Amino acid sequence: MSLTMRLAKNVVMSKVNYLKENPEKNMPELLEWARKLDVAGKFSSAFEALEPIAKDPNNNWNIMVRNLLKETSPACMTKLVSNLAFNSEISSMSVREKAAKKYGCNIPWAILMDPTAACNLHCTGCWAAEYQKTANMDYDLLDRIINEGKKLGIYMYIYSGGEPLVRKADLLKLAKKHSDCFFLSFSNATLVDEEFAKASAELGNLVLAISVEGFEKETDMRRGQGTYKKVIEAMDLLKAHGVPFGFSTCYHRYNTEVVGSDEYIDFMVSKGARFGWYFTYIPLGKDAQLDLLATPEQRTYMYRRVREIRETKPIFVLDFWNDGEYVKGCIAGGSSYLHINAAGDVEPCAFIHYSNMNIHDHSLIETLQQPIFKEYQSNQPFNENHLRPCPLLDNPEKLRMMVQRSGAHSTQLLDEEDVVTLTAKTEDISKQWAPQAEKLWQERNEKLKADQEKAAQKAAQRAEERRAAKGKKAKGSAQKEVSEAEGDTK
Ligand code: SF4
C-alpha cells in the first residue's frame, strides 16, 4: 500500500474514533470537513445525498451508523474500515486493474469458496446438497488461494458450503493469518458458540451472513425442526460480543411476502443484523423443486420492497438478482467474483455448476483464464436490461451457448446435470419475467433521470451560495484593510 493510502487510512480511522465520541453532533461536522476537501466539487452530488443522513438523527442510515458505532467491538470496527473499505476496495483496485490488463482476463473483487461440502443440516432445495458430501478443501489449499489472490489485489474472501463452520477452527486460523483481508461466511449459525463469538470479536475480520428463511415456521420448514431457535441464540451471542452480522434469506414461492415484510426486517434489526442478503430460489439438480420458483409478481414485489427497506430501515439490504442495475448486470466469471466448490472446481458463480479447471491442478490466475470465464467476459452483460442479468434465470440461451462453446463440464458430482436439461427448467420463468422487467426498467430509467436533474440543480444552487459567501467574505476583508489603512494615515 502506498504511503498516501496509509496516511489516508490513518486519517479516516481517527475520524471514526472522533465520530464514536458523539455521533449525533460529529456526523454533520465530519461531512462538512470532507466537503471542504472536495475543492473541485467532483463529489458534490454524493455530499448532497449524505447531508440529510448526517443531519437527521431519525434518518434510517443515521440510526444504522450510530448502532454500528455503539455496538461493534473495537477490533471489528477497525477491520471494517481498514480491511473491508480500504484493503479490499480502495487501495487494491489499481492492482486488480493492472493484473486484468496483464493477463487479459477478469480479476474479481471477491472469491467465494467452500471449505467443505459437509453440512449438519439437510435443507430442501439446497444447491450444496448436490455436491459430493466428502469434498473438502484443506487449510493449506485455502491458504494458497488467499496468498495467490492477494498478489492479484483480492482481499475479500467469502465462504459458503456445505456449512463452513464445520471447519471453524481453520476459518479462525485463516482470518488470523491474513489479518489484512476481510472474511464473510454464509452459515446456518447452529455451530456458533461462546468461544467462536469471542474469537470473532477479537479478530474483527470474520463476520457471518446467517441463513434464515423467515420466522420459525418458514425456517424450520426448509432447514429442519429446532433450527430457528439455534439461529436466534447465535444472533444473541454475536450481538453480545459486538460482532456485526447479517441475514441471508432465500425468497421463494412460499415465503416471499413474509421475508419482505416490515415485521421480518424489524425483527432482524432488533436482533442486531446490520445487513441482509436476499437470494431467490434456483432450480439446480435432479431434485430441484420447480414449484419453489418465485413468480414474476413476487420478484417485482421484492424489487420494490428492497428499495423501500433501504429508504426506511436501519439495515443495508441487497438482492442478488434485482440489484443488477448497480453492478452492470451479472457479476460472475471473475468480473466481481467467482466460486470454488469444495472439490476445487472453479466455477463462474455459486449457481453455475460448470467449469474447465480445478484449483488442485491450476494456479488461481490460470483458472481465471479458463474458457468458460472468457465466455463470461466477452458476453457480459447478458442483457441491456440489468433487471434481467442472469444467464441462467433470465437468459438461459446465453448459458447454453457459453457452456457448449467453452466445453465446460458439469461440476455436480452426483448428478452431472447437462446445460440443456438445466436451462429447460428456467425457459418459462425467464419469458414470464421479461415483460415485467422491461416495465420496471423503463420506470427506473425515468426516475433516475428526474433524480439526476434534481441533484444537479441542488449542486448548482449550493455552488452559487458558496460563491456568494466567498465574495461577501472577500469584500468584508477588503473593507477591513481599507479602514485599517485609513486609521494608520490618521
Ligand atoms: S450467473 Fe446469475 S446468479 Fe450468478 S452472478 Fe450472474 S446473474 Fe447472478
Establish whether residue 331 lines the binding site of ligand 1, counting it when its CB lies within 6 angstroms of any ligand atom.
yes
**22-80 tens-digit pLDDT:** 888 889 888 888 888 877 777 777 888 888 899 999 999 999 999 999 999 999 999 99
> Does the beta carbon of 403 lie inside 6 Å of ligand 1?
no
Same domain, yes or no, for 73 and 187? Answer: no
Choosing from 250, 322, 328, 349 the residue with most ligand 1 atoms within 8 A of its CB, the one to mutate for a pocket test is 349
Please give the pLDDT value at position 130: 47
Angle of CA points 158, 159, 165, to nearest 5°: 140
pLDDT of residue 33: 85
pLDDT score recorded for residue 471? 81
What pLDDT, on the 0 to 100 scale, is given for residue 288?
87
Does residue 162 have a cis bond before it (omega within 30 degrees)? yes
How far apart are the C-alpha atoms of 364 and 366, rounded to whole Å? Answer: 5
Distance CA 311, CA 307 (A): 6
- Using pLDDT thresholds of 50, 70 and 90, give the confidence band for residue 126: low
Within 72-108, residue ranges assigned H as helices are 74-79, 93-103
| pLDDT (average), residues 227-249 | 95
Note whether 212 and 291 are same-domain residues: yes
Strand, helix or coil for residue 380? coil
Cβ proximity of 47 and 31 under 8 Å: yes
Tell me if 351 CB under 6 Å of ligand 1.
yes
Centroid of ligand 1 to alpha carbon of 283 (angstroms): 13
In a domain, 36, yes or no: yes
pTM: 0.89
Strand, helix or coil for residue 53? helix
Q: Are residues 127 and 69 in the same domain?
A: no
- Domain stops at, among 438, 455, 478: 438
Determine the pLDDT at residue 124: 62
Residue 168: inside a domain? yes
CATH number where 423 lies: 3.20.20.70
Residue 144 included in any domain: yes
Mutate to test the pocket of ligand 1, among 331, 341, 399 (most ligand atoms within 8 A of CB): 331
pLDDT score for 322:
92
- Compute, in angstroms, the gap from residue 218 CA to the centroid of ligand 1: 25
Does 127 reside within a domain?
yes
| 233 and 278 assigned to the same domain | yes
Same domain, 72 and 113: no
Residue 367 lies in a domain: yes
pLDDT tens digits, residue range 300-321? 999 999 999 999 999 999 998 8
- Domain assignment of residue 426, yes or no: yes
For residue 488, what pLDDT is reported?
A: 61
Q: Give the DSSP H or E segment for 459.
A: helix 427-489
Query: Of 32, 47, 81, which residue is a domain's last?
Result: 81
Q: Is 391 near ligand 1, meaning CB less than 6 Å away?
A: yes
The total of other beta-carbon atoms located within 10 Å of residue 471's CB is 10
Based on the fold, state whether residues 325 and 361 are members of the same structural domain: yes
The alpha carbon torsion through 373, 379, 381, 387 (nearest 10 deg) reads -100
127 and 27 in a common domain: no
Residues 378-384: what's their mean pLDDT? Answer: 97
Q: Residue with C-alpha cell 434518518?
A: 59
User: Which of 81, 104, 139 finishes a domain?
Assistant: 81
Tell me the mean pLDDT in the region 331-343: 96
- pLDDT greater than 60 at residue 127: no
Co-location of 154 and 20 in the same domain: no
Place of cell 415485521: 263
- Mutation to probe ligand 1, out of 160, 377, 392 (largest number of atoms < 8 A from CB): 392
424 lies in the same domain as 403: yes
Q: Which atom of ligand 1 is nearest to the CA of 389?
A: 7
Residue closest by Cα to atom 7 of ligand 1: 390
Average pLDDT, the chain: 91
pLDDT at 221 over 50: yes
The residue assigned the cell 461531512 is: 31
Domain encompassing residue 344 = 94-438
- What count of residues does the chain have? 490
Q: From CA 15, how far away is CA 456, in angstroms rounded?
A: 29
- Ligand 1 centroid–CA 21 distance in Å is 42
Does residue 449 form part of some domain?
Answer: no
Could you tell me if 115 and 220 lie in one domain? Answer: yes
**Does ligand 1 lie within 6 Å of residue 330's CB atom?**
yes
Same structural domain, 146 and 36: no
